[in-house]
Structure 1
Amino acid sequence: MATAISPLAFFSAGAAATTGAIVPKPSQTPPLPKPLIPFLQSNTPGPLSSLTAPISAIAVAAILSTTPPLLAATGGAFNVYYGTAASAANYGGFGGNASKKDSAEYIYDVPEGWKERLVSKVEKGTNGTDSEFYNPKKRKEKEYLTFLAGIRQLAPKDVILNNLALSDVNLQDQIASAEGFSAEERKDENGQIYYVYEIDGAGTHSLISVTCAKNKLYAHFVNAPTPEWDRDQDMLRHVHESFKTVGSY
Protein backbone atom coordinates (compact mmCIF):
# COMPACT_ATOMS: atom_id res chain seq x y z
CA MET A 1 0.00 0.00 0.00
CA ALA A 2 1.36 3.41 -0.93
CA THR A 3 2.10 5.72 1.98
CA ALA A 4 2.07 9.49 1.65
CA ILE A 5 4.79 11.05 3.74
CA SER A 6 5.48 14.72 4.25
CA PRO A 7 8.91 15.63 2.77
CA LEU A 8 9.90 17.34 6.03
CA ALA A 9 9.50 14.05 7.85
CA PHE A 10 12.71 12.73 6.31
CA PHE A 11 14.76 15.42 7.99
CA SER A 12 13.15 14.99 11.40
CA ALA A 13 13.72 11.25 11.29
CA GLY A 14 16.93 9.83 12.67
CA ALA A 15 19.78 9.06 10.31
CA ALA A 16 20.23 5.58 11.82
CA ALA A 17 20.82 3.85 10.15
CA THR A 18 6.11 -4.49 -22.66
CA THR A 19 3.16 -6.87 -25.67
CA GLY A 20 1.44 -5.66 -28.60
CA ALA A 21 0.32 -2.77 -30.72
CA ILE A 22 -0.80 0.43 -29.09
CA VAL A 23 -4.08 1.59 -30.60
CA PRO A 24 -4.15 5.40 -30.90
CA LYS A 25 -6.93 7.13 -29.01
CA PRO A 26 -9.20 9.64 -30.86
CA SER A 27 -7.42 12.95 -30.99
CA GLN A 28 -10.27 14.79 -29.23
CA THR A 29 -9.98 12.67 -26.12
CA PRO A 30 -7.56 14.22 -23.61
CA PRO A 31 -5.06 11.85 -22.02
CA LEU A 32 -5.75 10.73 -18.48
CA PRO A 33 -3.18 11.78 -15.89
CA LYS A 34 -0.75 9.09 -14.81
CA PRO A 35 -0.81 8.26 -11.08
CA LEU A 36 2.31 8.01 -9.01
CA ILE A 37 3.73 4.49 -8.66
CA PRO A 38 1.19 2.63 -10.88
CA PHE A 39 2.45 -0.85 -10.01
CA LEU A 40 -1.04 -2.20 -9.41
CA GLN A 41 -2.46 -0.84 -12.65
CA SER A 42 -2.50 -2.65 -15.99
CA ASN A 43 -1.00 -0.95 -19.00
CA THR A 44 -2.65 -3.41 -21.39
CA PRO A 45 -4.39 -1.56 -24.27
CA GLY A 46 -8.19 -1.83 -24.48
CA PRO A 47 -9.88 -4.34 -26.82
CA LEU A 48 -10.00 -3.56 -30.53
CA SER A 49 -13.80 -3.51 -30.30
CA SER A 50 -13.54 -0.14 -28.57
CA LEU A 51 -12.47 1.51 -31.83
CA THR A 52 -15.12 3.78 -33.36
CA ALA A 53 -14.64 2.18 -36.84
CA PRO A 54 -14.61 -1.64 -37.48
CA ILE A 55 -11.28 -3.15 -38.52
CA SER A 56 -11.10 -6.43 -40.44
CA ALA A 57 -9.13 -9.36 -39.06
CA ILE A 58 -6.71 -9.05 -41.96
CA ALA A 59 -6.07 -5.39 -41.17
CA VAL A 60 -5.50 -6.20 -37.51
CA ALA A 61 -3.00 -8.91 -38.42
CA ALA A 62 -1.17 -6.50 -40.68
CA ILE A 63 -0.91 -3.94 -37.90
CA LEU A 64 0.36 -6.45 -35.36
CA SER A 65 2.89 -7.92 -37.78
CA THR A 66 4.55 -4.53 -38.19
CA THR A 67 4.80 -3.79 -34.45
CA PRO A 68 8.22 -4.55 -32.92
CA PRO A 69 7.76 -7.23 -30.22
CA LEU A 70 8.21 -6.12 -26.61
CA LEU A 71 8.76 -2.50 -27.61
CA ALA A 72 5.31 -1.16 -28.47
CA ALA A 73 4.40 -0.17 -24.93
CA THR A 74 7.56 1.78 -24.30
CA GLY A 75 8.50 3.04 -27.76
CA GLY A 76 12.14 2.00 -27.64
CA ALA A 77 14.68 -0.79 -27.24
CA PHE A 78 16.70 -1.69 -24.19
CA ASN A 79 19.91 -3.46 -23.27
CA VAL A 80 20.40 -5.38 -20.02
CA TYR A 81 23.16 -4.13 -17.74
CA TYR A 82 24.80 -6.65 -15.41
CA GLY A 83 26.20 -5.01 -12.28
CA THR A 84 28.67 -6.67 -9.94
CA ALA A 85 28.72 -4.19 -7.05
CA ALA A 86 32.41 -4.83 -6.52
CA SER A 87 34.30 -2.99 -3.83
CA ALA A 88 36.39 0.04 -4.75
CA ALA A 89 39.55 -2.00 -4.30
CA ASN A 90 38.42 -4.50 -6.95
CA TYR A 91 36.79 -1.99 -9.24
CA GLY A 92 38.03 -1.82 -12.85
CA GLY A 93 36.23 0.95 -14.75
CA PHE A 94 33.53 0.41 -17.34
CA GLY A 95 31.11 -2.49 -16.99
CA GLY A 96 28.05 -3.84 -18.75
CA ASN A 97 29.79 -6.32 -21.05
CA ALA A 98 28.77 -9.97 -21.41
CA SER A 99 31.67 -11.21 -19.26
CA LYS A 100 29.98 -9.75 -16.18
CA LYS A 101 26.83 -11.82 -16.56
CA ASP A 102 27.96 -14.79 -14.49
CA SER A 103 29.10 -12.64 -11.57
CA ALA A 104 26.25 -10.12 -11.67
CA GLU A 105 24.56 -9.17 -8.42
CA TYR A 106 21.89 -6.97 -10.00
CA ILE A 107 20.48 -6.11 -13.43
CA TYR A 108 18.51 -3.29 -14.99
CA ASP A 109 17.51 -2.18 -18.49
CA VAL A 110 19.30 0.66 -20.26
CA PRO A 111 17.57 2.54 -23.10
CA GLU A 112 19.24 2.03 -26.45
CA GLY A 113 21.49 4.98 -27.25
CA TRP A 114 22.21 5.92 -23.64
CA LYS A 115 25.85 6.24 -22.62
CA GLU A 116 27.70 4.84 -19.65
CA ARG A 117 29.52 7.25 -17.37
CA LEU A 118 32.78 6.04 -15.93
CA VAL A 119 32.54 5.93 -12.14
CA SER A 120 35.85 6.60 -10.43
CA LYS A 121 37.24 4.50 -7.58
CA VAL A 122 37.07 7.52 -5.30
CA GLU A 123 33.40 8.12 -6.06
CA LYS A 124 32.65 4.44 -5.67
CA GLY A 125 34.41 4.34 -2.34
CA THR A 126 32.79 7.47 -0.91
CA ASN A 127 29.12 7.28 -1.94
CA GLY A 128 28.86 3.71 -3.26
CA THR A 129 27.96 4.60 -6.85
CA ASP A 130 28.43 1.39 -8.85
CA SER A 131 27.07 2.23 -12.31
CA GLU A 132 25.47 5.11 -14.20
CA PHE A 133 23.94 5.67 -17.65
CA TYR A 134 22.60 8.88 -19.16
CA ASN A 135 20.79 10.22 -22.20
CA PRO A 136 23.48 11.96 -24.29
CA LYS A 137 20.83 14.38 -25.58
CA LYS A 138 19.96 15.42 -22.03
CA ARG A 139 22.56 14.39 -19.48
CA LYS A 140 20.32 14.97 -16.47
CA GLU A 141 17.99 12.22 -17.70
CA LYS A 142 19.77 9.23 -16.21
CA GLU A 143 19.74 6.09 -14.11
CA TYR A 144 22.33 4.89 -11.63
CA LEU A 145 22.83 2.45 -8.80
CA THR A 146 24.47 2.86 -5.43
CA PHE A 147 25.13 0.20 -2.81
CA LEU A 148 26.24 -0.09 0.79
CA ALA A 149 27.84 -3.22 2.20
CA GLY A 150 27.16 -4.70 5.63
CA ILE A 151 23.39 -4.19 5.67
CA ARG A 152 21.42 -7.37 6.29
CA GLN A 153 17.86 -6.05 6.11
CA LEU A 154 15.83 -2.95 5.29
CA ALA A 155 15.10 -0.35 7.93
CA PRO A 156 11.70 1.43 7.87
CA LYS A 157 10.89 3.21 4.60
CA ASP A 158 11.31 6.75 5.92
CA VAL A 159 14.64 5.96 7.55
CA ILE A 160 16.01 4.40 4.37
CA LEU A 161 15.15 7.43 2.24
CA ASN A 162 16.44 9.80 4.90
CA ASN A 163 19.80 8.02 4.91
CA LEU A 164 20.00 8.11 1.11
CA ALA A 165 19.25 11.82 1.15
CA LEU A 166 21.96 12.50 3.71
CA SER A 167 24.57 11.38 1.17
CA ASP A 168 22.95 13.15 -1.80
CA VAL A 169 22.41 16.90 -1.57
CA ASN A 170 20.34 16.94 -4.75
CA LEU A 171 18.00 14.33 -3.31
CA GLN A 172 17.72 16.34 -0.10
CA ASP A 173 16.69 19.43 -2.04
CA GLN A 174 14.25 17.47 -4.17
CA ILE A 175 12.51 15.99 -1.13
CA ALA A 176 12.36 19.35 0.61
CA SER A 177 10.66 20.98 -2.41
CA ALA A 178 8.55 17.97 -3.45
CA GLU A 179 5.14 18.70 -4.93
CA GLY A 180 4.19 15.04 -4.74
CA PHE A 181 5.58 11.98 -2.98
CA SER A 182 4.67 8.33 -2.54
CA ALA A 183 6.30 5.31 -0.92
CA GLU A 184 5.39 1.65 -1.38
CA GLU A 185 6.59 -1.75 -0.26
CA ARG A 186 6.36 -4.63 -2.73
CA LYS A 187 7.64 -8.19 -3.05
CA ASP A 188 8.99 -9.94 -6.12
CA GLU A 189 8.27 -13.54 -7.15
CA ASN A 190 10.90 -14.76 -4.65
CA GLY A 191 9.42 -12.81 -1.76
CA GLN A 192 12.23 -10.27 -1.71
CA ILE A 193 11.10 -6.87 -0.43
CA TYR A 194 11.65 -3.68 -2.41
CA TYR A 195 10.90 -0.15 -1.23
CA VAL A 196 9.65 1.99 -4.11
CA TYR A 197 9.63 5.77 -3.96
CA GLU A 198 8.39 8.42 -6.39
CA ILE A 199 9.27 12.07 -5.90
CA ASP A 200 7.78 14.84 -7.99
CA GLY A 201 10.15 17.64 -7.15
CA ALA A 202 10.52 21.19 -8.38
CA GLY A 203 11.75 20.71 -11.93
CA THR A 204 12.84 17.06 -11.45
CA HIS A 205 11.08 13.70 -11.19
CA SER A 206 12.68 10.68 -9.49
CA LEU A 207 11.89 7.00 -9.19
CA ILE A 208 13.86 5.04 -6.58
CA SER A 209 13.88 1.32 -5.79
CA VAL A 210 15.72 -0.02 -2.73
CA THR A 211 16.31 -3.58 -1.58
CA CYS A 212 18.71 -5.71 0.47
CA ALA A 213 20.49 -8.87 -0.69
CA LYS A 214 23.84 -10.52 0.00
CA ASN A 215 24.35 -8.28 3.03
CA LYS A 216 24.20 -5.21 0.82
CA LEU A 217 21.69 -2.43 0.30
CA TYR A 218 21.09 -1.59 -3.37
CA ALA A 219 19.39 1.66 -4.45
CA HIS A 220 18.45 2.18 -8.10
CA PHE A 221 17.63 5.75 -9.20
CA VAL A 222 15.91 7.06 -12.33
CA ASN A 223 15.99 10.86 -12.61
CA ALA A 224 14.67 13.23 -15.28
CA PRO A 225 13.98 16.97 -15.54
CA THR A 226 10.25 17.63 -15.76
CA PRO A 227 10.15 18.25 -19.57
CA GLU A 228 11.93 14.93 -20.19
CA TRP A 229 9.74 13.16 -17.64
CA ASP A 230 6.60 14.43 -19.38
CA ARG A 231 7.93 13.15 -22.71
CA ASP A 232 9.59 9.86 -21.65
CA GLN A 233 7.81 8.69 -18.52
CA ASP A 234 6.60 5.35 -20.00
CA MET A 235 10.17 4.48 -20.94
CA LEU A 236 11.53 5.71 -17.62
CA ARG A 237 9.01 3.66 -15.65
CA HIS A 238 10.05 0.58 -17.61
CA VAL A 239 13.67 1.24 -16.71
CA HIS A 240 12.72 1.73 -13.07
CA GLU A 241 10.71 -1.50 -12.86
CA SER A 242 13.44 -3.53 -14.60
CA PHE A 243 15.84 -3.33 -11.64
CA LYS A 244 16.28 -6.44 -9.53
CA THR A 245 19.00 -8.34 -7.73
CA VAL A 246 20.05 -11.73 -9.07
CA GLY A 247 21.76 -14.85 -7.75
CA SER A 248 21.69 -16.09 -4.18
CA TYR A 249 20.02 -14.07 -1.48
Structure 2
Amino acid sequence: MAREATAAYGTAASDEVASEGEFTTFYGAANPPATYGSIGGTTKALAKYSYEVPDGWVEEATSKVEKGSGGQDSRFVKSGTKGAVKAYCLTLNPAGQDGASFALTEAALQAVAGALSDMQDSITAGQISTKRAKEDGREYALFEVDADRKYVVKISIDNTGRLFAFVITAPASQFNRDKKNIERMANSFRVYSSVSQFV
Protein backbone atom coordinates (compact mmCIF):
# COMPACT_ATOMS: atom_id res chain seq x y z
CA MET A 1 0.00 0.00 0.00
CA ALA A 2 1.39 3.37 -0.96
CA ARG A 3 1.79 5.60 2.09
CA GLU A 4 2.56 9.25 2.69
CA ALA A 5 4.60 10.40 5.67
CA THR A 6 6.37 7.08 5.96
CA ALA A 7 7.92 8.03 9.31
CA ALA A 8 4.50 7.36 10.83
CA TYR A 9 4.59 3.69 9.87
CA GLY A 10 6.63 0.70 10.93
CA THR A 11 6.65 -2.95 10.02
CA ALA A 12 4.54 -5.03 12.38
CA ALA A 13 6.63 -7.04 14.82
CA SER A 14 5.01 -10.35 13.85
CA ASP A 15 6.00 -12.40 10.81
CA GLU A 16 2.38 -13.56 10.53
CA VAL A 17 0.69 -12.68 7.25
CA ALA A 18 -3.06 -12.00 7.40
CA SER A 19 -5.57 -12.82 4.71
CA GLU A 20 -5.25 -9.35 3.18
CA GLY A 21 -1.45 -9.26 3.30
CA GLU A 22 1.01 -7.81 5.74
CA PHE A 23 0.32 -5.30 8.49
CA THR A 24 2.09 -2.06 9.25
CA THR A 25 1.99 -0.13 12.52
CA PHE A 26 0.56 3.40 12.56
CA TYR A 27 1.92 5.76 15.24
CA GLY A 28 -0.51 8.47 16.29
CA ALA A 29 0.43 11.96 17.46
CA ALA A 30 -2.76 13.04 19.30
CA ASN A 31 -1.97 16.68 18.56
CA PRO A 32 -4.36 19.65 19.09
CA PRO A 33 -7.14 20.25 16.51
CA ALA A 34 -5.40 23.22 14.89
CA THR A 35 -2.71 20.89 13.54
CA TYR A 36 -5.09 18.65 11.56
CA GLY A 37 -6.18 18.48 7.94
CA SER A 38 -3.49 16.13 6.62
CA ILE A 39 -2.45 12.51 7.01
CA GLY A 40 0.65 11.04 8.52
CA GLY A 41 0.81 10.50 12.26
CA THR A 42 4.21 10.73 13.90
CA THR A 43 7.36 8.78 14.63
CA LYS A 44 7.56 5.81 16.97
CA ALA A 45 9.55 7.82 19.51
CA LEU A 46 6.87 10.55 19.74
CA ALA A 47 3.77 8.34 19.53
CA LYS A 48 0.91 8.71 22.00
CA TYR A 49 -0.75 5.57 20.63
CA SER A 50 -0.30 2.95 17.91
CA TYR A 51 -2.21 0.25 16.05
CA GLU A 52 -1.65 -2.18 13.20
CA VAL A 53 -3.28 -1.67 9.80
CA PRO A 54 -3.63 -4.33 7.08
CA ASP A 55 -2.62 -3.71 3.50
CA GLY A 56 -5.66 -2.60 1.55
CA TRP A 57 -6.66 0.03 4.12
CA VAL A 58 -6.14 3.69 3.21
CA GLU A 59 -5.60 6.59 5.59
CA GLU A 60 -8.01 9.51 5.35
CA ALA A 61 -7.26 12.98 6.66
CA THR A 62 -9.26 14.12 9.68
CA SER A 63 -10.34 17.74 9.52
CA LYS A 64 -9.90 20.31 12.28
CA VAL A 65 -13.68 20.19 12.83
CA GLU A 66 -13.70 16.37 13.12
CA LYS A 67 -10.82 16.57 15.56
CA GLY A 68 -12.20 19.51 17.53
CA SER A 69 -15.83 18.37 17.85
CA GLY A 70 -15.50 14.59 17.69
CA GLY A 71 -11.95 13.87 18.80
CA GLN A 72 -11.01 12.00 15.60
CA ASP A 73 -7.23 11.78 15.59
CA SER A 74 -6.70 9.26 12.77
CA ARG A 75 -8.91 7.30 10.37
CA PHE A 76 -8.42 4.39 7.97
CA VAL A 77 -10.92 2.96 5.48
CA LYS A 78 -10.77 -0.44 3.78
CA SER A 79 -10.39 0.00 0.03
CA GLY A 80 -13.36 -1.05 -2.09
CA THR A 81 -15.97 -0.70 0.67
CA LYS A 82 -17.05 2.90 -0.08
CA GLY A 83 -16.22 3.84 3.51
CA ALA A 84 -18.41 1.11 5.04
CA VAL A 85 -15.46 -0.62 6.77
CA LYS A 86 -13.35 1.81 8.77
CA ALA A 87 -11.26 2.39 11.86
CA TYR A 88 -10.84 5.55 13.94
CA CYS A 89 -8.77 6.60 16.89
CA LEU A 90 -10.53 9.20 19.04
CA THR A 91 -9.02 11.21 21.86
CA LEU A 92 -11.35 12.84 24.36
CA ASN A 93 -10.51 15.09 27.30
CA PRO A 94 -12.10 14.45 30.72
CA ALA A 95 -14.59 17.27 30.05
CA GLY A 96 -16.36 14.74 27.82
CA GLN A 97 -17.83 13.34 31.03
CA ASP A 98 -18.95 16.66 32.52
CA GLY A 99 -15.62 17.35 34.18
CA ALA A 100 -15.39 13.94 35.82
CA SER A 101 -12.46 11.63 35.28
CA PHE A 102 -12.90 8.96 32.66
CA ALA A 103 -13.19 5.34 33.77
CA LEU A 104 -13.18 2.14 31.73
CA THR A 105 -16.95 1.69 31.90
CA GLU A 106 -19.94 1.89 29.56
CA ALA A 107 -20.09 5.60 30.38
CA ALA A 108 -16.82 5.95 28.48
CA LEU A 109 -18.32 3.97 25.60
CA GLN A 110 -21.26 6.40 25.59
CA ALA A 111 -18.81 9.32 25.44
CA VAL A 112 -17.26 7.75 22.34
CA ALA A 113 -20.71 7.17 20.84
CA GLY A 114 -21.47 10.85 21.38
CA ALA A 115 -18.72 11.59 18.86
CA LEU A 116 -19.94 8.97 16.34
CA SER A 117 -23.70 9.24 15.81
CA ASP A 118 -24.07 5.94 13.90
CA MET A 119 -22.54 4.12 16.83
CA GLN A 120 -25.27 5.35 19.17
CA ASP A 121 -27.90 3.67 16.96
CA SER A 122 -26.00 0.36 17.13
CA ILE A 123 -25.63 0.59 20.92
CA THR A 124 -29.37 1.22 21.30
CA ALA A 125 -30.40 -1.66 19.02
CA GLY A 126 -27.63 -4.18 19.70
CA GLN A 127 -25.97 -6.26 22.38
CA ILE A 128 -22.84 -5.05 24.19
CA SER A 129 -20.15 -7.31 25.61
CA THR A 130 -17.13 -6.12 27.61
CA LYS A 131 -13.70 -7.54 28.40
CA ARG A 132 -10.93 -6.08 30.54
CA ALA A 133 -7.22 -6.63 30.01
CA LYS A 134 -3.89 -5.34 31.27
CA GLU A 135 -1.25 -4.94 28.59
CA ASP A 136 2.23 -3.52 29.17
CA GLY A 137 1.04 -2.38 32.61
CA ARG A 138 -1.90 -0.37 31.25
CA GLU A 139 -5.61 -1.16 31.70
CA TYR A 140 -7.83 -1.55 28.63
CA ALA A 141 -11.52 -2.23 28.11
CA LEU A 142 -12.71 -3.93 24.92
CA PHE A 143 -16.34 -3.40 23.96
CA GLU A 144 -18.09 -5.31 21.19
CA VAL A 145 -21.40 -3.98 19.88
CA ASP A 146 -23.35 -6.64 17.99
CA ALA A 147 -25.93 -5.02 15.71
CA ASP A 148 -26.64 -4.58 11.99
CA ARG A 149 -23.54 -2.36 12.03
CA LYS A 150 -20.98 -3.90 14.34
CA TYR A 151 -18.35 -2.11 16.41
CA VAL A 152 -15.25 -3.12 18.29
CA VAL A 153 -14.03 -0.37 20.64
CA LYS A 154 -10.82 -0.65 22.64
CA ILE A 155 -10.44 2.06 25.28
CA SER A 156 -7.69 3.18 27.62
CA ILE A 157 -6.81 6.31 29.60
CA ASP A 158 -3.40 7.94 29.53
CA ASN A 159 -1.54 9.42 32.49
CA THR A 160 -3.15 12.86 31.92
CA GLY A 161 -6.71 11.47 32.15
CA ARG A 162 -7.33 11.67 28.41
CA LEU A 163 -9.47 8.89 26.90
CA PHE A 164 -8.16 7.05 23.84
CA ALA A 165 -10.65 4.92 21.90
CA PHE A 166 -9.82 2.78 18.89
CA VAL A 167 -13.03 2.06 16.99
CA ILE A 168 -13.42 -0.46 14.15
CA THR A 169 -16.79 -0.73 12.44
CA ALA A 170 -18.45 -2.50 9.51
CA PRO A 171 -21.84 -3.82 8.45
CA ALA A 172 -22.36 -7.22 10.07
CA SER A 173 -21.76 -9.26 6.88
CA GLN A 174 -18.48 -7.51 6.08
CA PHE A 175 -17.43 -7.50 9.72
CA ASN A 176 -17.77 -11.27 9.88
CA ARG A 177 -15.73 -11.72 6.68
CA ASP A 178 -12.94 -9.51 8.06
CA LYS A 179 -13.15 -10.74 11.64
CA LYS A 180 -9.58 -12.08 11.81
CA ASN A 181 -8.06 -8.81 10.66
CA ILE A 182 -10.40 -6.71 12.80
CA GLU A 183 -9.49 -8.69 15.91
CA ARG A 184 -5.79 -8.28 15.18
CA MET A 185 -6.20 -4.53 14.66
CA ALA A 186 -8.08 -4.16 17.95
CA ASN A 187 -5.61 -6.32 19.87
CA SER A 188 -2.69 -4.29 18.54
CA PHE A 189 -3.95 -0.94 19.90
CA ARG A 190 -1.63 0.56 22.53
CA VAL A 191 -1.67 3.85 24.43
CA TYR A 192 1.51 5.45 25.77
CA SER A 193 2.08 8.01 28.51
CA SER A 194 2.75 11.62 27.63
CA VAL A 195 6.44 10.95 28.13
CA SER A 196 7.39 8.44 25.43
CA GLN A 197 7.70 4.83 26.51
CA PHE A 198 10.17 4.13 23.72
CA VAL A 199 13.94 4.23 24.17
Per the normalisation by structure 1, the TM-score is 0.65
Residue-by-residue CA offset, 1:53-110 (whole Å, 9 max, x unaligned) = xxxxxxxxxxxxxxx93126x55311110101000123362114xx522211000011
Q: Return 5+ residue gaps in structure 1 as ranges.
A: 1-67
> Which one of the candidate residues 182, 186, 202 is aligned to 2:133?
186
AA in 2 matched with 1:122: V
The alpha carbon displacement at 1:224 in A equals 1.3
- Residue aligned with 1:165, SS: helix
State the superposition RMSD in angstroms. 2.2
The correspondence of residues 103-182 of structure 1 with structure 2, limited to 5 A, is 103-138=46-81, 139-150=83-94, 154-155=102-103, 157-178=105-126, 180-182=127-129
1:153–1:212 contact (8 Å) kept in structure 2: no
Which portions of structure 1, spanning 4 or more consecutive aligned residues, are displaced by more than 4 angstroms? 150-153
Identical positions, percent: 30
Tell me whether 1:201 sits opposite 2:147 in the alignment.
yes
Q: Which has the higher contact order (CA 8 A, sep 6+)?
A: 1
1:229 corresponding residue in structure 2: 175
Residues 163, 150 of structure 1: CA spacing in aligned structure 2 closer, same or farther, 3 A cutoff? closer
1:64 corresponding residue in structure 2: none
AA in 2 matched with 1:119: T
Q: Distance in 2 between matches of 1:174 and 1:92?
A: 28
How many residue pairs match? The answer is: 176
Q: Distance in 1 between matches of 2:84 and 2:32?
A: 26
Q: Distance in 2 between matches of 1:213 and 1:200?
A: 27
Residue-by-residue CA offset, 1:178-211 (whole Å, 9 max, x unaligned) = 0x32012211131x11111001112x11100111
The alpha carbon displacement at 1:150 in A equals 4.5
The alpha carbon displacement at 1:231 in A equals 1.1
The alpha carbon displacement at 1:167 in A equals 2.8
Q: Identify, as 1 or 2, the structure richer in strand.
A: 2
> Which one of the candidate residues 32, 44, 47 is aligned to 1:87?
32
The alpha carbon displacement at 1:154 in A equals 3.5
The alpha carbon displacement at 1:226 in A equals 1.4
1:76–1:235 contact (8 Å) kept in structure 2: no
Residue-by-residue CA offset, 1:113-142 (whole Å, 9 max, x unaligned) = 211111111111111100000111112111
AA in 2 matched with 1:232: D
Report which of the two structures shows the higher radius of gyration computed on alpha carbons.
1
Q: Distance in 1 between matches of 2:94 and 2:32?
A: 12
AA in 2 matched with 1:143: A
Residue-by-residue CA offset, 1:22-75 (whole Å, 9 max, x unaligned) = xxxxxxxxxxxxxxxxxxxxxxxxxxxxxxxxxxxxxxxxxxxxxx93126x55
Residues 107, 211 of structure 1: CA spacing in aligned structure 2 closer, same or farther, 3 A cutoff? same
